[in-house]
Amino acid sequence: MTLFEPVKILIEKSALDLPYAQKLLRYFSETPVQEVDEIQQTKKTLHDYFSKNVLLITDYKGDIIKRCPGTRGALCCNYYVANIINGCPFYCTYCILHDYINCGSVMICANTEKFFDELRAKTREKFLLRLGTGELADSLALEPFVHLNDELLPGLKECKNVVLELKTKSAFVDSILKYDVADKVVVGWSVNPQNIIDTDEYKSASLKQRIEAARIMVQNGYKVTFHFDPIILVPDWQEQYRAVIRMLRDSIPGEQVAWLSLGGLRFTASLRKIIQDRFKKSDILSYGEFVPCPDGKLRYFRPVRVNMYRFMLKEIMAWNRSIPVYLCMESQQVWKQVFGSLPLERSALAHVYTPYPDTDLHEE
């Protein structure tokens, strides 16, 4: 079985003439196609049994590029997300998409021209817009099937003041190398010890494959990013994460790491229920001690989190002190405890945490 094999395509009538939609229909020429008036309405009626392995192609009417919503009580890192693909073929125990995209299908916005219109309108002189496609999807997991990079990267070359982060748990980087976009694209990998990948990141690439893909990107002049997120406090977690950092150190020069994030396992009450129901063999909820936080999510108890971040930071600094490290969705209090200061007071991160000079992007 391949990673992505849709049994049916639902396409919005208004998307039929879009060039990328036409290409998608060709890529999946064997798959039955049904035309619908409005995907969003159809999605609501998709039944549990019939929604999996359905590809939805839409002429998306809303904003494709949005400011990362962040979370209540956490410091904002001014990241922007482009939700061109919604849905992921990987099956990670802890993934919020189980809760957020509850129909289990993959949706692609075929109107990529709209993405560029929005991007051009939103970039600002002297400010770098950090944009990612990995919020509601893995940026590269579907690449061998949907070839989205062929639609985005050539156009991106012409855009100024933007860096696109393609965040992934795959090793599908070949399609990026076709284009000369090292100054516009960074590729980011979510990393975890291999035994966590085995038990809780089903269908994703192995740690070795991810690091090898990162090495190839670096070799081709690209900067890369790494995300220890979620860090899971399995027994012997320190040894396991130390080993991952050492593997990275042995393959990737620290200077080529554009940024690196740390985030502890966190989940909403409804995701917790999904994990309990769907992933009965997973033990991730058993380790550590979870407390409800001001944003409603459960996180490891603060002193446990702080120790965890301090340990990770120490190991990363031993790899390379110049790597910009930030905490994802954490409070000022935790930042101060871990780093002794807030990101705006830290030169390596000040430009990231300086509010983006935006107008229309900041409305939620």
Partner 1 sequence: MNKIYSILSAEQINRADEFFRVGSSYNSDMLRRLLDEWGVIAPLIVSRHGESYRIVEGFDRFDCAVLHGITELPVIEVDTDEFSCYRFAIFNAVRQESCDIFDIAQALAVLSDYFLVPRQDIATEYLPFFGFSCRDKILDKLITIHKFDPSQKKLCRDECIETDKILLISDIDRTIRNDMIELMIELRPSINKVKQIIELIDEISGREGKPPAEVLSDPLLRSILDDEACNAGQKLNRFREALYGRRNPALSRTLELVDRKIRQLKLDNRIKLIIPPYLEGDQLRLEAEFENKEQLEEIARNLLQTAGLKSFGELLDIIKEP
- Kindly tell me which of 233 and 258 has the beta carbon lying closer to partner 1: 233
> Quick check: 277 binds partner 1 (CB under 8 A)?
yes
- Kindly tell me which of 202 and 301 has the beta carbon lying closer to partner 1: 301
Stretch that binds partner 1, among 139-147, 163-171, 273-281, 311-319 (CB under 8 A): 273-281
Can you read off the two tokens belonging to residue 1?
A: 């079985």
Rounded to the nearest whole angstrom, what is the least distance from the CB of residue 101 to partner 1 in the complex? 17
- By the 10 Å C-beta count (0-12 exposed, 13-18 middle, 19+ buried), 189 is classed as buried
> Quick check: 68 binds partner 1 (CB under 8 A)?
no
- Kindly tell me which of 187 and 334 has the beta carbon lying closer to partner 1: 334
> Quick check: 276 binds partner 1 (CB under 8 A)?
yes
Please pick, from the candidates 2, 62, 280, 340, the single residue that binds partner 1 as defined by CB under 8 A: 280
- Kindly tell me which of 44 and 126 has the beta carbon lying closer to partner 1: 44
CA end-to-end span of the chain: 40
Rounded to the nearest whole angstrom, what is the least distance from the CB of residue 271 to partner 1 in the complex? 14
> Quick check: 8 binds partner 1 (CB under 8 A)?
no
Rounded to the nearest whole angstrom, what is the least distance from the CB of residue 334 to partner 1 in the complex? 9
Rounded to the nearest whole angstrom, what is the least distance from the CB of residue 244 to partner 1 in the complex? 22
Q: Which residue has the tokens 């002190």?
A: 321
Please pick, from the candidates 113, 180, 255, 283, the single residue that binds partner 1 as defined by CB under 8 A: 283
- Kindly tell me which of 62 and 235 has the beta carbon lying closer to partner 1: 235
Rounded to the nearest whole angstrom, what is the least distance from the CB of residue 102 to partner 1 in the complex? 12
Please pick, from the candidates 1, 26, 44, 49, the single residue that binds partner 1 as defined by CB under 8 A: 49
Q: Which residue has the tokens 């100054």?
A: 183
Stretch that binds partner 1, among 111-119, 148-156, 219-227, 284-292 (CB under 8 A): 284-292
> Quick check: 73 binds partner 1 (CB under 8 A)?
yes
**Is 8 in contact with 34 (CB distance < 8 Å)?**
yes
The neighbouring-strand residues paired with 162 are 129
> Quick check: 47 binds partner 1 (CB under 8 A)?
yes
> Quick check: 155 binds partner 1 (CB under 8 A)?
no
> Quick check: 44 binds partner 1 (CB under 8 A)?
no
Q: What residues numbered 289-348 form the site for partner 1, per CB under 8 A? A: 289, 291-294, 299, 301-304, 306, 331, 333, 337
CA-CA-CA-CA torsion sign (45, 50, 51, 55): negative
Stretch that binds partner 1, among 133-141, 164-172, 274-282, 314-322 (CB under 8 A): 274-282
Rounded to the nearest whole angstrom, what is the least distance from the CB of residue 260 to partner 1 in the complex? 25
Rounded to the nearest whole angstrom, what is the least distance from the CB of residue 137 to partner 1 in the complex? 24
Which pairs with CB-CB distance under 8 Å and at least 24 residues apart come from 191-196? 191/226, 191/227, 191/228, 191/244, 191/248, 192/228, 192/230, 192/231, 192/232, 192/244, 193/234, 193/237, 193/240, 193/241, 193/243, 193/244, 195/234, 195/240, 196/232, 196/234, 196/240
Q: What residues numbered 243-272 form the site for partner 1, per CB under 8 A? A: none
Where on the chain is the footprint of partner 1 (CB under 8 A)? 47-49, 73, 276-277, 280, 283, 285-287, 289, 291-294, 299, 301-304, 306, 331, 333, 337
